[in-house]
Amino acid sequence: MKKFLSMTLIIFLVLGLSISAGAQDLEKKVVSDSLVDEAGEYGGEYVISLTSAPQTFNYYGAIDWSTFSIMTNVLDSLVEANPVTQEIEPGLAKDWEYSDDGTTVTLHLRKGVKWSDDEPFNADDVIFTFNNLTLNPNAEANEVSRYEIDGEMVEFTKIDDYTIEVNLPAPYGPFMKILSQAPIAPEHKLAQHLDPENPGAINEAWSTGTDLSEIVGTGPFTVDQYSVDQKLVLKRNPNSWRYDQEGNQLPYVDQLVYVFVQNSEVQLAQFQAGEIDHLQISGKDFPMLKQQEVDGADFKVLTGKPVNPTPSPTHLSFNFDVEDEELKEAFRSLEFREAMADLIDRDRIIDDIYNTLAIESGMPVVPTNEAFYNPEIEEYRRQFNIEKARGILDDLGYKDTDNDGIRELPDGEDFEFNLTTAVDSQDRVDIASLLKDNMEEVGLKVNLNLIKGSLVFDKALAGEFESMVMAFGNQPDPQFRKAIWQPGRALYYWHLSTMSEDGQPVMENMFDWEKEIFEMFEKGQVTMEHPERREYYDRWQLINAQKLPVIFITKGMDLYSVQDDVGNYFVNDDGVIVNINYTVFKK
């Protein structure tokens, strides 16, 4: 009996010790106080609306804004960019070191983090995610192109359960930034979806028909309930590792609810009825909502300096490879583009089209992006001056020889061209109309070509246009979108002859200043130290201002309206709107 008792005791002791030795204490993260304005209270639900339901719950399975917006609440990346300051902060990796030559990064993972189903998070999940999702060319929303440097891929190796070593083929400046946009997915839930016979099988994992208990994450929220095409409910993740300054676990709200409302009028109506807690609004709706706020409605309207680099500032472009030889010569001349820049009445655009809620844009870096904005470009901004434009066109020799009010090109044809823009963006249609009027006033004949947004892209990338009013999806680190801004790339659409059939840059077809921009991007790519990198992008912006590859017009301010009972949703001292899903709370 005694022996039995002591044996049992010993067994329990051993078990107890091993369990506690295996379990890690959670290494919490205290979120930056830039995200918080006042002490939060627990409880309630925070309702957001999206215009379309997610196509899948697999972040890497489809290229879908709704999927991205929703799943970034459920999954975390190794590091995160502070939403307000854009600085890189620890995420699932709590710290990291670079080797001396900048080609190796050692990441130390946060210990004690558990998935929402209580399975421990460790390096295996990171390796699984990078090998089968992020860097898998068959995953639809993969990031392969970002992790390819000089033709070689970045490699991730597990050193131990909480240490990852990353080998970069060459030093890579934006590396931390791209790491912040690669959420880590659970190996224990997704590995079973891999199929050696069907490389695309991973895209079918976590589709919208999946049992929600399969969808686990480390993020502040987990998926709780989905009503097809109507509403998605996320609830607080009990294993969340984010805490506020007072030691309270985040998030504050019990539930984060996404409702899917296709039509923007209905969205507005539901916001006014109090069913939605916050909404991003357009300049057109601003006056009405602000008036209601002043009259005592239960919500407030906030204007913030634009922080989000997306969409890029609206710009006017001329096709340097346009078919008509005369137009080609005109478009390629800097003086002509300067004249066109003189025809842009930004004040009127900001007042009339944006209801004063827009700013002079950067070229294209957003002025609030302190990491990359070059204020020197402001000296080169051209003012609205019709007479000056007229003078330049006269000097260039485009005269109206037959007195029909339209100037003639050297070959006798009218100076006439198309201006293409997306019919589904009211702002751009209005800007294009205004430009057309001003251009016609100085004797150019302009035909508006309004087509569907996605078709505009197709035409741009095929070089089938003459001039265009456009905007691209953009990123805070210009290197990420070098596909647009660096000559010789696929999205450098106004001068496609700088790229060969197989996607290689053709230096002979570039202007001298384009060659210089090309160099700047090449250098910025491989420089790790930010102050040095920054110089290259400063020079790029300066060249943009002086040589006008495209003419940047304006960037809309951030406009949000929010119910009065939402706390920690505010405009900070720098004029930037702060609204983070895991720090807002209901009063």
List phi, psi (to 5°) of 39.
Answer: -70, 135
Cβ closest to other proteins, residue 249 vs residue 474: 474
137 binds other proteins (CB under 8 A): yes
Per-residue DSSP letter, 56? B
Q: How far is the CB of 198 from other proteins (least distance, A)?
A: 11
**371: nearest Cα among 525, 531, 522, 517:** 531
Q: Taking CB under 8 A as the criterion, which residues in 250-289 touch other proteins?
A: 257, 259-263, 265-266, 269-270, 272-276
List phi, psi (to 5°) of 207.
Answer: -75, 175
CB 254 within 8 A of CB 42: yes
* Binding track, positions 285-324, relative to other proteins; x by CB under 8 A: -------------------------xx-------------
DSSP letters for 255-296: EEEEEE---HHHHHHHHHTTSSSEEE--TTTHHHHHHHHHTT
Contact pick of 473, 500, 532, 587 for other proteins (by CB under 8 A): 473
Length in residues, the chain: 587
Whole-angstrom distance, CA of residue 414 vs CA of residue 412? 7
DSSP letters for 459-505: HHHHT--SEEEE-----SSGGGGHHHHSTTSTT-GGGGGGB-TTS-B
Contact pick of 7, 15, 483, 507 for other proteins (by CB under 8 A): 483
149 binds other proteins (CB under 8 A): no
DSSP letters for 356-401: T-EEE--SSS-TT-TTT--GGGGGGPPPP-HHHHHHHHHHTT---T
Q: How far is the CB of 398 from other proteins (least distance, A)?
A: 33
Cβ closest to other proteins, residue 183 vs residue 443: 183
Q: How far is the CB of 146 from other proteins (least distance, A)?
A: 8
Cβ closest to other proteins, residue 266 vs residue 507: 266
List phi, psi (to 5°) of 511.
Answer: -70, 165
From residue 121, give the alpha-carbon distance in Å to each of 97, 239, 248, 472: 21, 11, 22, 37
Q: How far is the CB of 48 from other proteins (least distance, A)?
A: 11
* Binding track, positions 50-79, relative to other proteins; x by CB under 8 A: --x--xx-x--xxxxx--x-----------
Contact pick of 382, 481, 533, 555 for other proteins (by CB under 8 A): 481
Cβ closest to other proteins, residue 58 vs residue 541: 58
CB 524 within 8 A of CB 518: no
Q: How far is the CB of 26 from other proteins (least distance, A)?
A: 31
* Binding track, positions 494-533, relative to other proteins; x by CB under 8 A: ---------x------------------------------
126 binds other proteins (CB under 8 A): no
Q: Which residues, 6 or more positions from 127, have their beta carbon under 8 angstroms from its beta carbon?
A: 156, 157, 158, 164
Cβ closest to other proteins, residue 431 vs residue 499: 499
Interface residues with other proteins (CB under 8 A) are 47, 52, 55-56, 58, 61-65, 68, 137-138, 140-146, 181, 200, 203-204, 207-209, 225-231, 233, 257, 259-263, 265-266, 269-270, 272-276, 310-311, 453-455, 457-458, 460-461, 472-475, 480-481, 483, 490-491, 503
